[in-house]
Amino acid sequence: MKQYDKLLKDLAPQKFGMLGKIWVIFLVVIILIALYAYYQQFDKGLVITGMRDYALWGVYISNFVFFVAISLVGSLVTAILRLSGVKWATPLTRISEVIAVAAIMMGGLTIIIDMGRPDRILNIFLHGRLQSPIIWDVLVITTYLLISLLLLYYPLLPDFAILKKHFKNKPKTSKWYGKLSLNWKGSAKQERIYTKSIHSLSVMIIPVAFAIHTVTAWLFATTYRAGWDSTNFGPYFIAGAFVAGAGAVVMMMFILRRVYHLEDYITDRHFDKMGKLLVLLCLVYLYFNINEYLVPAYKYTNEEAAHLSGLFTGKFSSLFWTVIVGGLIVPVVVLVFRRGRKPLPLFIMAILVVVGAWWKRYIIVTPTLLHPFLPIQGVPESWRDYFPTLLEWAITFGTLAAALLIMTILFRYLPIIPIHETAEERGFLETDKTETL
């Protein structure tokens, strides 16, 4: 029981320290600035952004695609690794589920932010055409959000019951955890329903997760635009999403391990495994990138030529090569070596991967829009180019801060490492499970 008590002490939610409070204040300030910027946008319309007739999707849509990509990690770590019987991933499941929930919530919100008339959002549901991929995206995002919430909540039931008992000297907290545990006692019936439900969710989240990112890719690929008109786009997006999601998990692992002193639970072995996984995912994504750029570059039609020359040698080339080399090739090279998969180097590589993933979405969305089929003529100079305005940046950073705030709050009140599962895996519950609960 001593070991179990230590585990409980280590893994039970802890109050924010000074650093935690500063972090929350910092995020809230960014969100408030973003709210002010959004008020400006709501009042004056999308004219406050850099978007015009040609670049009608900008940083908001890039950000949306990034959020959707990040959210896919829930299915990777929780479902795919769980169903594959990969036990080492247990301490990472909660982290990935929280990231998935926060990301998909903010992804949905970002789409509303991108709307010129958000007051008309109901019209999507009232008059939406089922033939449009945009409606498919709305449906699949809503579905994925619910699955992600359930997949976060179900494994928490035994943990809430444990926390109810753990915080018995804090009646109010204990009461809340008790309510959230849905009177979990670990009875055979409860265990049966619980196991079956988690298994169902794990199976179901995989096709829905694939659907959410494939449909997001179809928003682009169902057009004839250069750079988007590709049958490769669905798998290309999914491969990229796994890279971004795995990178985000590594970043969170490192930070949470440091802040909450979880070295006994998130070990170097976990970093090593995630490092290897990240290499594999980066290589798969590189393969899709080669497909995505080499084939049109070989054909070099006029439209593709304008688009690709912009990426390879033109205006977007520095960003493009930084993303490809810095966000994919360098991480692969570093992580191939065992030393590169140590926590700190892996954390640095993960930052490169995630930042690269964000900008990758930007160079997927924007350059194509600036190369329409008909030449841009007789329009104001500002329509010919796109770069986000300060207000757009403020709103975008606000959404990123909001996602981080959701994660911060969830990590504050939820056990970062699944207590019940970890105790079970380590054999701490074998002696008397019901008594422990």
Partner 1 sequence: MIKSVISRSKSVLLIFMGVLAFLGNKAYGQEDKTSARLTVEHVKIMNENSSLNIKAIFKGEEGYEPCENLNFIIYKINEAEEISEEDSEAVSEEKIGEVKTNQEGKASFVIPSQFVTPLSTYSIRIENSDTYKDNEEDVTVIDANLEASVEEIDSIYHIKARFVSVENEPLAEQTLKVGLKRLFGSLSIGEDDSYETDEDGAILVPIEDGLTGVDGKLTFQVTLKGNDDYGTIIAFVKSDIGVPVEDQSTFGERTMWSPPTKTPIYLLLIANIILIGIWGVLLLLVINLFKIYKSKIN
| Interacting residue ranges for partner 1, rule: CB under 8 A | 127-131, 136, 139, 143, 146-147, 150, 153-154, 157, 182-185, 187, 189-190, 193-194, 196-197, 200-201, 204, 208
> Which one, 170 or 185, has the nearer CB to partner 1?
185
**Residue 207 beta carbon to partner 1: minimum distance, rounded to whole angstroms:** 9
> Which one, 127 or 339, has the nearer CB to partner 1?
127
CB proximity list for 21: less than 8 A, separation 6 or greater: none
> Which one, 201 or 249, has the nearer CB to partner 1?
201
> Which one, 225 or 273, has the nearer CB to partner 1?
225
> Which one, 157 or 335, has the nearer CB to partner 1?
157
> Which one, 122 or 130, has the nearer CB to partner 1?
130
**Residue 117 beta carbon to partner 1: minimum distance, rounded to whole angstroms:** 19
> Which one, 71 or 110, has the nearer CB to partner 1?
71
> Which one, 44 or 185, has the nearer CB to partner 1?
185
CB proximity list for 97: less than 8 A, separation 6 or greater: 74, 78, 148, 151, 152, 155
> Which one, 215 or 324, has the nearer CB to partner 1?
215
CA–CA gap between residue 42 and residue 39 (Å, rounded): 5
Q: What is the DSSP letter of 77?
A: I
Closest CA to 357 of 388, 336, 326, 330: 326
**Residue 115 beta carbon to partner 1: minimum distance, rounded to whole angstroms:** 19
**Residue 143 beta carbon to partner 1: minimum distance, rounded to whole angstroms:** 6
CA–CA gap between residue 431 and residue 437 (Å, rounded): 12
**Residue 332 beta carbon to partner 1: minimum distance, rounded to whole angstroms:** 36
Q: What is the DSSP letter of 227?
A: T
**Residue 110 beta carbon to partner 1: minimum distance, rounded to whole angstroms:** 23
CA–CA gap between residue 356 and residue 248 (Å, rounded): 12
CA–CA gap between residue 162 and residue 160 (Å, rounded): 5
Contacts made by residues 130-135, CB under 8 angstroms, sequence distance 24+:
133/215, 133/218, 133/219, 133/222, 134/219
**Residue 149 beta carbon to partner 1: minimum distance, rounded to whole angstroms:** 10
CB proximity list for 16: less than 8 A, separation 6 or greater: 23, 24, 412
Closest CA to 326 of 337, 318, 336: 318
Residue 104 CB-half CA count within 13 A: 29
> Which tokens in the block code for residue 182?
């849905």
Q: Are 239 and 115 in contact (CB under 8 A)?
A: no
**Residue 349 beta carbon to partner 1: minimum distance, rounded to whole angstroms:** 36
**Residue 31 beta carbon to partner 1: minimum distance, rounded to whole angstroms:** 30
> Which tokens in the block code for residue 273?
């495994």
3-state secondary structure of 67: helix
> Which one, 138 or 262, has the nearer CB to partner 1?
138
CA–CA gap between residue 55 and residue 365 (Å, rounded): 9
Q: Are 251 and 350 in contact (CB under 8 A)?
A: yes
**Residue 155 beta carbon to partner 1: minimum distance, rounded to whole angstroms:** 12
